[in-house]
Amino acid sequence: MSKIINTSGKKKTAVARATVKEGKGRIRINSVPLEIYGTELSRLKISEPLLLLPGITDEIDISVEVQGGGYMGQADAIRTAIGRGILNWYNDPKIKDAYLAYDRTLLVNDSRQKEAKKPHGRGARKKFQKSYR
């Protein structure tokens, strides 16, 4: 029986669910290899938890399913899910310390959400102009 770990990450309305299991170091996002997924900027953001600890994913495969949000929100959700998955797989406090020292959002969801639009305006705070003179 091989070990399988499921983790998730969120950013705005994007939700990423990662599955970590034994393998050869493959990372797939929505069945697409990380090397050809999305834009270069989002690839760099997603690969941060992997670059902090080189060679950490050589014996595990990570499969991520992501939906909702825009491409950068998805990238943030994916990196949180991957960071949590690696931490849960190895259960090593040194990994946790390295991730938290670099960026807390590698392990903790960013809970900020868009503020709701209010009446009498174009958005959450902006109001329509008055001109009565």
What integer pLDDT is reported at residue 100 of this predicted model? 95
CA distance 49 to 33: 16
**pLDDT digits 0-9 by tens, 4-38:** 999 999 999 999 999 999 999 999 999 999 999 99
pLDDT in tens, 98-124: 999 999 999 999 999 999 999 999 999
Asked if residue 75 lies in contact with residue 45, where contact means CB atoms within 8 angstroms, the answer is yes
Domains, in order of start, for the chain: 4-106 (3.30.230.10)
User: How do beta strands 27-29 and 32-33 pair?
Assistant: antiparallel
* pLDDT of residue 132 exceeding 90: no
CA distance 131 to 58: 65
DSSP letters along 45-82, please? HHTHHHHHSTTTTTTEEEEEEEESS-HHHHHHHHHHHH
